[in-house]
Structure 1
């Protein structure tokens, strides 16, 4: 009974020392490959230097965009244990290179799977984007440079023209604003004085004439009777003249 308990307690420790240290890694997760250059599928195997885990098989396969699985390559490994490395962890890279790729339909995820006698580990995979050609140098380099230079020169000229217009027009606008402010702030001018009377424009002689006329109008002189006419005849004549004017 005691021996069975020891085995139960030792079993998790054995898993930690052996199977617990086994792993498979694939980095980087994304790659871009050209058809002519091909691709190298990364596969890094981590295991302890123990006879049980130094013998394993590596399987490479590919899953395309349609989800179809295709086996690519298989290899078996028997790693010798270096002296003094017993039970220590080893990390060994087993990259498989595919060259050339068939066509652009080779795009997909490539996996690396490692099998021991009682353990299987699989990497997370590497997505590969297959391309027919890479960067192709075109003859448009000089044309692009000339176009950029022309646009830069045009932009500088337009900026200079705008600054010149602003420099010329701004003083005129400021002068107009000053004149407008002066007109607005100037108090309203007084109404022109009334024209002088007519008599002011006349000289003393003309004033005297009008004064004489006015005095004659106010004080009419008595009519003089013609010589040889008696006052009675004069009164009769004036009466007849008045009667004649009334008839008219």
Structure 2
């Protein structure tokens, strides 16, 4: 009983130290393939360097869009444990290439399955999309984008030309007035013409007045000189003033 317990504990210790677990991984999960070209099915096997895990078989198969399973390829492996790697975990890739792909019906999920004596592991699979046009769609997309941009530019230029033509036809006088205004504003001040003379019409009465003034200027009347005082009158005035003073 004690010996059996020792074996069990030893086995558990070996599993803990050397890993003791196996696994199958497939990356990336999605791939795109073209017709007449090949595709590589990834298969990464993880196992410990132990005698019971160094011998295994690998099976490749795929399931199409209708759910039909088809075997592709299988191989057997017998790994030699490197010195100093006992009970260590090993990771080895076993990718299988399929070529060429004849038609798009090869679209589906491809699996890698590994079998040991008492263990069987299957990867999560890789979905492969098989296309027959390649990158032609991308070029068409660029052509459509360029064509659409060119069309928009042509429509924009045409609309602008129509607006300018309509404005020129409907508003010719406004354009002429603007041109004349610009010419007048651009002329220097010295070049402006002098203001026209202003004439005033005279009525009949004003004509008579001017005629009378003209007659007066032609025949001036003699001026009367003021009378001069004689010495006699001056003497009489002086005498009267003296008499007045004496009476006072």
Q: CA deviation at 1:8?
A: 3.3
1:37 positional shift: 1.1
Deviation of 1:83 (Å): 2.4
Shift of residue 121, structure 1, vs aligned partner:
1.0
Query: Where does residue 124 of structure 1 map in the other structure?
Result: 124
Whole-Å separation in 1 of the counterparts to 2:148 and 2:66: 45
1:30-79 CA-to-partner distances (Å, cap 9, x unmatched) read 11111211211000011122222222111001111222211100001112
Q: Residues 20 and 48 of structure 2 are in contact (CA less than 8 Å); yes or no, is this contact kept in structure 1?
A: no
- Partner residue, 1:50: 50
The aligned residue for residue 13 of structure 2 is: 13
Query: For this pair of structures, how many residues does the alignment match?
Result: 163
TM-score, normalised relative to structure 2: 0.56
Aligned match of 1:211: none
CA distance in 1, matches of 2:96, 2:6: 44
- Partner of residue 151, structure 1: 152
Q: Note the aligned Cα RMSD (angstroms).
A: 3.1
After superposition, the C-alpha distances for 1:121-179 in whole angstroms (9 at most, x for unaligned) are: 110000111112311276896675254144246558979x8xxx9xxxxxxxxxxxxxx
1:107 aligned residue: 107
Q: CA deviation at 1:16?
A: 4.1
Of stretches 127-136 and 17-26 in structure 1, the one that deviates more from structure 2 is 17-26
Residue 73 of structure 2 corresponds to residue 73 of structure 1: yes
Give the C-alpha shift of residue 106 in structure 1.
Answer: 1.1
Query: Any stretches of 5+ residues in structure 1 without a counterpart?
Result: 166-248
TM-score by length of 1: 0.56
- The 1:124–1:140 alpha-carbon spacing in structure 2 relative to 1, beyond 3 Å, is closer
